[in-house]
Amino acid sequence: MPHDHDDHHHDNELDPMAARVRALETILTEKGLIDPQAIDVIVDTYETKVGPRNGAKVVAKAWSDPEYADWLKRDATAAIESLSYTGRQGEHMQAVFNTPDTHNLVVCTLCSCYPWSVLGLPPVWYKSPPYRSKAVIDPRGVLVEFDVILPETTRIRVWDSTAELRYLVVPMRPEGSEGLSEEQLARLVTRDSMIGTGLALAPEAA
């Protein structure tokens, strides 16, 4: 049966972990234990609703409210929780602020620890061995691969996320964003900019 053969062929193109997840999902679906549509809703929620929009709102508030920015620097866990963004893999947070002198980059060298409740689902590349190793060895080279070209005078600081502590990069507020509301500012914040592999968008690009 050609259709079944094609499905099998596509499954072989998945990485081992994705293939195992696909097989487990198929078994649980066949047993009536899960609803694939419900899973799709959960995934969409983490990808587009829970995060990274939550993190973007945190950054926007830090940009527009100096007192909140100071709180975020001192106790990111409490500051983020005050906006009701807490939960799975986001209980203990530290915010690191980009400046003209220092650019922050987040990686998890051991696995793929990531603040789901703030940034949503981790991108595939974040979990890949090449990113996890090169981010530590050659962070400037990694940024170039993401089209982030920084002055040679800008220091790049790499933060290793762990099961105990996860990081949120607060990108620099872009020029020309003065006078924008927090909602408008949040649209300038991308997921990559909160990992450190990107910059905030210019107002005209949002």
Encoding tokens for residue 143?
Answer: 């940024």
Residue spans of beta strands (DSSP E) within the chain = 93-97, 102-107, 155-160, 166-170
CA distances (Å), 190 to each of 17, 25, 73, 132, 186, in order?
Answer: 27, 30, 20, 20, 8
Residue spans of beta strands (DSSP E) within 70-180 = 93-97, 102-107, 155-160, 166-170
Active centre residues (catalytic): 108, 111-113
CA distances (Å), 203 to each of 106, 166, 180, in order?
Answer: 25, 28, 9
Encoding tokens for residue 82?
Answer: 């005050």
Cβ proximity of 123 and 130 under 8 Å: no
